Chains A and B, each alone.
Chain A
Amino acid sequence: MHGAEIIAILEEKFGPRIRQKKPDTIDPYVVVDAADIVEVCRFLRDDPRLQFDMLNCISGVDYCEPEPAKAAKAGFEPHLEVVYHLSSFVKRHRFVVKVILPRWKDNVEGQLPEVPSVTSIWPAANWHERETYDLVGIRFVGHPDLRRILLAEDWEGHPLRKDYIYPLEYHGIRGR
């Protein structure tokens, strides 16, 4: 099934809750609100026409230009995106769902943005969400065990954010 058909099915079901759509790319995608992601994902998995039985990957993307001189020409407002790559073994098609988030919750620096967890739909999401939390700093609400997965547990900050400041030292070991 092509991306345009999948988007048509989703629009028929969810209507204006599909915020953006882009059918004519290599990986067609829709953008939904964070509050709707669990419902949309459950529909994508359970609908007999779609049957997305596999979650390939969850990625976090930081759209941010830390240098003020370049920020004006960057062509985007600073924000975060969570990207869900889905595929179906049964139907042999792929699809992408995105959620756009602010860089900080309520624009308070240090408050991580929140998005509901999809571990209840695909158990594979567990470690992907932990990694996204670890490196990009997105809190997945409802995750059974949201700890850092790669970095040490007492690490400060989320290194794949564009404005991350590299640590000067870690437990007495020089870092820079």
Chain B
Amino acid sequence: MGLLEGKFDQGGVVVTTLEQAINWARQASVWPMTFGLACCAIEMMATGASRYDIDRFGAGAFRATPRQADLMIVAGTVNFKMASRVRRLYNQMPEPKFVIAMGACTSGGGPYYKYGYNVVKGVDLVVPVDVYVAGCPPRPEALLEGLMRVQDKIRAMHDLTKRQPLDYLVPTRSGYVKLPPEVETLEKANEYCRRRKELSTPTKV
């Protein structure tokens, strides 16, 4: 809410287009589908839990049905038996819908590329993918970054005017993390490390 902060203290007016207002609301309430297929799902759960807290980006409401979801996070190895189910779930989602291919298996087969007789070599062979998240499995931060790229896509949508969206999306939020104050500068960090080392050294009695 950085843009609007303090603007309404004495009452105020915001001028925007309807499209932008809709997109703004949409990108702040992306509801993902509970859809874990393998080990990436554990990482997705960690992203939803309190330490990484996907709710900060408005995407914490994991729905158990595709009909209420906007975002499908394909977390895990998709095999041929599952592929038809993945496609059906995607078809059941209402427009606008987005897909994150999370991890190496969903992006391109991953470790099962050569000898996985049963593994789909990338979920983009089954459903259209918006954002690929690399990693095996990706860290929760990486999944959050992927979510932010989906939000960039939503922000650039032109649903009402039917214009083509921009080819190159401008990231409005990056995965940049501010360092804690005790390690802000190099000197402070060195001092912090030295103190930690001192504390962890057992003292002789």
Contact = CB atoms under 8 A, between A and B. Distances in A.
Contacts, number: 26
Q: How large is the interface on A (under 10, 10 to 19, 20 to 34, 35 or more residues)?
A: 10 to 19
The binding surface of chain A is classed by DSSP as loop
B84 interface: yes
A90 B108 CA distance: 50
A173 B122 CA distance: 10
A164 to B, nearest CB: 7
B38 to A, nearest CB: 15
A170 B121 contact: no
Nearest to B126: A173
B127 to A, nearest CB: 11
B192 interface: no
A166 B121 contact: no
A171 B118 contact: no
B83 interface: yes
Interface in B55-89: 80-81, 83-84
Q: Considering residues A159, A167, A173, which has the most beta carbons from chain B within 10 angstroms of its beta carbon?
A: A173
B70 to A, nearest CB: 25
B104 interface: no
A164 B84 contact: no
Given A152-B81, A170-B80, A164 B121 contact: no
